[in-house]
Amino acid sequence: MMRSATYSRPIRVHIAPAAIRANYRLAKQRTPGARVWAVVKANAYGHGQWRAVDALRGEADGFALLECENAVALREADVSQPILLLEGIFSAADVAAVVEYRLTTVVHCAEQLEWLIAGSRPEQPLALYLKLNTGMNRLGFTAVTLPRAMELLRRLPQAEVTLMTHFAEADGERGIAWQLERFRALAGDWRGPLSLANSAVILRHPAAHGDWVRPGIMLYGASPFADQSAAALGLRPAMTLASRVIAVQEIEAGERVGYGGTFTVPRRMRLGVVACGYADGYPRHAPSGTPLAVAGRRTVTVGRVSMDMLACDLSDIPAAGPGAPVTLWGEGEGGAVPVDEVAAAAGTIAYELFCAVAPRVPVVLGES
């Protein structure tokens, strides 16, 4: 990675490894007795897989991701903890890596079990997560397909099996009781290890923690709940998207701002132009009124987000001129703006904002 000083445009994304560690420790505190996978899929929710792994290398009980090649890369980089393939293997060709690199793999369909049977030998240990479909209705065995899975598992006597499921509405009013009931019916008299809990279950449903939990979004400092902030949960933001004001305009009442003229100035407005746009990963659909902070003061966007710029209201921040620091989300020199507030204003979720930050935005490690 090039040093940020070599980039002339002021936008930066700051990644704080210390915040990732603090959030992982909170997951450990909230799940006493359980072991904790650090979920680093999707490039660690946009924070950088290797940055997250390095932050947690000495702390995580295990790492969970999607791609077999990324799991192999972790092993070859001397990551010794268990590594979980959250969607399992995608072809028979992956079996050799699962065996050689001691990977734990989810199995959610009979085809995966058949590949493992054909590609492994009884003397080669296997660690499997048998996924049960209890209502998410994406992956996993149902009451109809589970008997076939259990029949195939008998042909893998060397396998150590953990039962898992994934909750669809742990962050909402419906909760998890209905899925737990289905899980127990499918599991029957199972007495082996369980993995049930994502971030929402970790934080709100302690009865369903099981033996291994799988925190994702909470590791990166965002809340899984629409009605509870990350700060209230004790989470620290691990990403700050920051930039600077590059121009100021004095706009008269009645004038329109930006492409399509979607915002009409209600009164004389001091308008700031910020070096950040949808080509940087900021949501184009974020409407006027989306929060940001400039020079330590909260304000809002105005007009349509363009490719490389967006505009904001500086009428009540007279000291902010060209060069003033801006926090688009996170905690930075410009001020503090929770990513969940930005996401809510834009009609999306923090997960999408994190993952959408563009490769052209320089990364700086450490607190912003």
Q: Are 207 and 8 in contact (CB under 8 A)?
A: no
Q: Let me know whether 40 and 146 are in one domain.
A: yes
In which residue are the tokens 């700050």 written? 240
Quick one: average pLDDT of 27-43? 98
Q: Are 176 and 170 in contact (CB under 8 A)?
A: yes
Is residue 194 situated within a structural domain?
Answer: yes
**What percent of the chain has pLDDT above 90?**
97
| Domain end (from 189, 220, 251) | 220
pLDDT at 367: 73
Quick one: average pLDDT of 112-129? 97
Name the amino acid, one letter, at 101.
Y
Q: Let me know whether 75 and 209 are in one domain.
A: yes
Q: Let me know whether 161 and 258 are in one domain.
A: no
Would you call 285 exposed, middle or buried from its count of C-beta atoms within 10 A (0-12, 13-18, 19+)?
Answer: exposed
Is residue 187 situated within a structural domain?
Answer: yes
Q: What is the pLDDT of residues 82-95, one digit of tens each?
A: 999 999 999 999 99
Tell me if residue 41 is catalytic. Answer: yes
Domain count, the chain: 2
Would you call 88 exposed, middle or buried from its count of C-beta atoms within 10 A (0-12, 13-18, 19+)?
Answer: buried
Quick one: average pLDDT of 207-223? 97
For residue 168, the 8-state DSSP code is S
Q: Let me know whether 149 and 35 are in one domain.
A: yes
Q: Are 219 and 27 in contact (CB under 8 A)?
A: yes
Q: What is the CATH number of the domain that holds 286?
A: 2.40.37.10
User: Which pTM value belongs to this model?
Assistant: 0.95
Q: Let me know whether 120 and 189 are in one domain.
A: yes
Q: Let me know whether 145 and 53 are in one domain.
A: yes
From the candidates 101, 131, 220, 259, give the one annotated as an active-site residue: 259
Is residue 69 situated within a structural domain?
Answer: yes
pLDDT at 1: 37
Q: Let me know whether 164 and 295 are in one domain.
A: no
Is residue 136 situated within a structural domain?
Answer: yes
pLDDT at 368: 60
pLDDT at 136: 96
Question: At residue 301, does pLDDT exceed 80?
Answer: yes
Quick one: average pLDDT of 145-157? 97
Q: Let me know whether 342 and 262 are in one domain.
A: yes
Q: What range defines the domain where residue 324 resides?
A: 239-365
Is residue 225 situated within a structural domain?
Answer: no
**140 dihedral zone (left: phi>0; alpha: psi -120 to 50; beta):** left
Is residue 231 situated within a structural domain?
Answer: no
pLDDT at 5: 55
Beta-carbon contacts of 280 under 8 Å, excluding residues fewer than 6 positions away, are 11, 241, 308, 357, 358, 360, 361
Long-range contacts of 16-19 (CB under 8 A, 24+ apart): 16/236, 16/237, 16/238, 16/239, 16/240, 16/365, 16/366, 16/367, 16/368, 17/51, 17/52, 17/54, 17/55, 17/238, 17/365, 17/366, 18/55, 18/236, 18/367, 19/221, 19/236, 19/237, 19/238, 19/367
Q: Let me know whether 187 and 87 are in one domain.
A: yes
Is residue 24 situated within a structural domain?
Answer: yes
Quick one: average pLDDT of 209-219? 98
pLDDT at 69: 98
Q: What is the pLDDT of residues 53-80, one digit of tens each?
A: 999 999 999 999 999 999 999 999 999 9
Burial letters for 170-199: b for 16+ Cβ neighbours within 10 Å, e otherwise?
A: bbeeebbeebbebbeebbeeeeeebbbbbb
Q: Let me know whether 62 and 201 are in one domain.
A: yes
For residue 206, the 8-state DSSP code is G
Tell me if residue 351 is catalytic. Answer: no
- Mapped onto helix, strand or coil, the DSSP state of residue 235 is coil
Which of the four pLDDT bands, split at 50, 70 and 90, describes residue 346? very high
**Mean pLDDT (the chain, rounded):** 96
Q: Let me know whether 209 and 275 are in one domain.
A: no
Which of the four pLDDT bands, split at 50, 70 and 90, describes residue 181? very high
Here the tokens at position 19 are 């915040």
Would you call 318 exposed, middle or buried from its count of C-beta atoms within 10 A (0-12, 13-18, 19+)?
Answer: exposed
Quick one: average pLDDT of 302-327? 98
Which of the four pLDDT bands, split at 50, 70 and 90, describes residue 347? very high
Is residue 11 situated within a structural domain?
Answer: no
From the candidates 7, 24, 28, 41, give the one annotated as an active-site residue: 41
Would you call 221 exposed, middle or buried from its count of C-beta atoms within 10 A (0-12, 13-18, 19+)?
Answer: buried
Quick one: average pLDDT of 130-140? 98
Q: Let me know whether 46 and 191 are in one domain.
A: yes
Q: What is the CATH number of the domain that holds 30?
A: 3.20.20.10
Q: What is the pLDDT of residues 1-26, one digit of tens each?
A: 334 458 899 999 999 999 999 999 99
